[in-house]
């Protein structure tokens, strides 16, 4: 077998380490294949990553001086940079993905669906480790380096969303949070950056909450038999406290939105007062301003998604009026002064949880998207209206 042929075979190591050129350019790293059981316990001999003698011997193998059939520099260059195509051995973010056993497996067995033959047929185990130790220096400015930068990759947790409610993507970026014209707890106005996330297009409905109760052993909220009637199934669920809302979101494979996520979904990035803009509320945009005497067993509520003129800039419905919405954050009137500028999660503890958006029985000024309010998250007195009342509901969110 010619030197040039064997040299060409090592070119595919880069590709075999799942670093195709397109992936590297787009920062989208392909997932690594699992190491077969035969190789899972393979480890670089102690001290070899940084042993100058070992690295020199690996260099000799790389340049074809130690084995008549192995020469790699004709395809990979003297510094490891591919002469033809492929790439990545010099990139630290790539080599740090490979465990010892992954390095050895791919080099020993060759790369599937390529002409590379297994190195174990040409080199001993010690020789394979030596050339790996030398190749490793390419991503460390040509210097011997301990492979301590390796961190096992944790596969993303698969989220199973049990309710089929439509969700809306809110893209990553900054927005203006708070209001200098509002109450003291809305000040100061500050810029917040949020990662992209999804939020429910609608408030969680009575019908959805009924499915949750059927699948679990949780007690229903007060007046559930009155609420859970066919004509009301598409109205937002109420009489739920923060724990009820949190339990539902967790069951659904989601979570409650943070206060910042809720406000961005409502206001967008242009600092608007209400989800639809700066014009005052009207009955086509929001359900509000009704007398409590008109409650009449949920007749005061409007089915979700009915008031399309009130949609937020991201297409989220009913973020003003209808029902207050629980969010994840503890309430602190002074939190904005100390809030992190990226992905704030609220105070670490507190007595009250934040609610947002106003409700069907409030005046229009309480529907402003920057308006904050609070409620006690739960109580041992299950029927206490201070915790579960007929103007509080919720919606869910989840990470992108």
Q: Which has the closest alpha carbon to 135: 177, 174, 91, 172? A: 91
Residue 321 domain flag: yes
CA distances from 276 to 136, 197, 340, 356 (A): 56, 20, 27, 16
Q: Which has the closest alpha carbon to 134: 41, 40, 51? A: 51
If asked whether residues 99 and 239 sit together in one domain, one would say no
Q: Which has the closest alpha carbon to 81: 71, 90, 72? A: 90
If asked whether residues 113 and 184 sit together in one domain, one would say no
Dihedral sign, Cα of residue 385, residue 359, residue 232, residue 235: negative
Partners of 375 in beta bridges: 353
Residue 156 domain flag: no
Residue 157 domain flag: no
What is the residue range of 12's domain? 3-149
If asked whether residues 66 and 196 sit together in one domain, one would say no
Contact call for residues 167 and 198 (beta carbons, < 8 A): yes
If asked whether residues 217 and 277 sit together in one domain, one would say yes
pLDDT at position 188, please?
Answer: 97
Residue 350 domain flag: yes
User: b/e per residue, 3-16, with b = 16+ CB within 10 A?
Assistant: eeebbbbbbbbbbb
Q: How many CB atoms lie within 10 A of CB 316?
A: 23
If asked whether residues 141 and 196 sit together in one domain, one would say no
CATH of the domain at 248: 3.90.1580.10
Question: CA–CA separation, 322 vs 301, rounded Å?
Answer: 6
If asked whether residues 315 and 391 sit together in one domain, one would say yes
Contact call for residues 334 and 298 (beta carbons, < 8 A): no
Q: Which has the closest alpha carbon to 206: 232, 242, 225? A: 232
pLDDT along the chain (400 residues), means of 10: 42 38 38 82 94 92 74 58 48 75 86 64 89 86 84 60 87 96 96 96 96 90 89 94 94 97 97 96 96 84 96 97 97 96 95 95 96 85 61 95
Q: How many CB atoms lie within 10 A of CB 324?
A: 26
Question: CA–CA separation, 250 vs 162, rounded Å?
Answer: 10
Domain boundary among 149, 183, 213: 149
Domain boundary among 149, 175, 194: 149
Question: CA–CA separation, 39 vs 103, rounded Å?
Answer: 10
Residue 312 domain flag: yes
H/E element holding 337? helix 335-338
Contact call for residues 396 and 255 (beta carbons, < 8 A): yes
The pTM of this model reads 0.62
If asked whether residues 176 and 309 sit together in one domain, one would say yes
Residue 267 domain flag: yes
If asked whether residues 143 and 188 sit together in one domain, one would say no
pLDDT at position 262, please?
Answer: 98
If asked whether residues 130 and 213 sit together in one domain, one would say no
If asked whether residues 129 and 181 sit together in one domain, one would say no
Domain boundary among 101, 120, 149: 149
Contact call for residues 342 and 367 (beta carbons, < 8 A): no
CATH of the domain at 70: 1.10.760.10
Count: domains in the chain:
2
Q: Euclidean distance between the first and final Cα of the chain, in Å?
A: 50
Residue 326 domain flag: yes
Residue 161 domain flag: no
- Among left, alpha and beta (phi > 0; psi -120 to 50; other), residue 326 is beta
If asked whether residues 355 and 243 sit together in one domain, one would say yes
If asked whether residues 202 and 145 sit together in one domain, one would say no
Whose tokens are 């970026």? That residue is: 173
Partners of 173 in beta bridges: 194
Partners of 324 in beta bridges: 392
């Amino acid at each position: 077998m010619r030197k040039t042929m064997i040299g060409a075979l090592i070119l595919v190591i880069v590709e075999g380490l799942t670093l195709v050129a397109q992936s590297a350019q787009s920062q989208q790293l392909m997932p690594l294949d699992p190491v077969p059981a035969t190789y899972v316990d393979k480890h670089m001999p102690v001290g070899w990553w940084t042993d100058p003698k070992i690295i020199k011997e690996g260099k000799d193998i790389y340049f074809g001086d130690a084995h008549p059939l192995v020469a790699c520099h004709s395809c990979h260059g003297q510094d490891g940079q591919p002469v033809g195509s492929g790439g990545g051995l010099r990139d630290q973010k790539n080599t740090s993905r490979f465990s010892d056993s992954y390095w050895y497996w791919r080099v020993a067995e060759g790369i599937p669906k390529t002409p590379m033959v297994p190195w174990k047929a040409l080199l001993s185990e010690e020789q394979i480790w030596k050339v790996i130790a030398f190749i490793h220096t390419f991503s460390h400015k040509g210097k011997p380096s301990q492979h301590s930068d390796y961190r096992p990759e944790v596969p993303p947790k698969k989220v199973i969303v049990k309710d089929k409610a439509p969700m809306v993507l809110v893209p990553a970026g900054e927005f203006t949070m708070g209001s200098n014209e509002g109450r003291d707890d809305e000040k100061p106005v500050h810029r917040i950056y949020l990662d992209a996330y999804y939020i429910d297009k609608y408030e969680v409905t009575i019908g959805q909450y009924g499915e949750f109760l059927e699948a679990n052993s949780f007690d229903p909220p007060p007046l559930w038999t009155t609420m859970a009637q066919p004509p009301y199934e598409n109205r937002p669920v109420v009489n739920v406290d923060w724990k009820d809302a949190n339990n539902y979101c967790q069951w659904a494979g989601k979570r409650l939105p943070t206060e910042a996520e809720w406000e961005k979904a409502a206001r967008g990035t242009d600092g608007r007062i209400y989800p639809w803009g700066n014009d005052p509320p009207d009955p086509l945009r929001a359900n509000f301003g009704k007398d409590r005497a008109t409650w009449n067993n949920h007749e005061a509520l409007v089915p979700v998604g009915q008031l399309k003129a009130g949609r937020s800039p991201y297409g989220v419905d009913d973020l003003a009026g209808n029902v207050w919405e629980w969010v994840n954050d503890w309430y602190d009137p002074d939190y904005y002064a100390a809030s992190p500028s990226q992905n704030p999660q609220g105070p670490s503890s507190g007595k009250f949880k934040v609610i947002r958006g106003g409700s069907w029985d409030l005046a229009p000024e309480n529907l402003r998207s920057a308006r904050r309010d609070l409620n006690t998250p739960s109580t041992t007195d299950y029927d206490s209206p201070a915790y579960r009342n007929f103007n509080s509901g919720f919606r869910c969110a989840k990470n992108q």
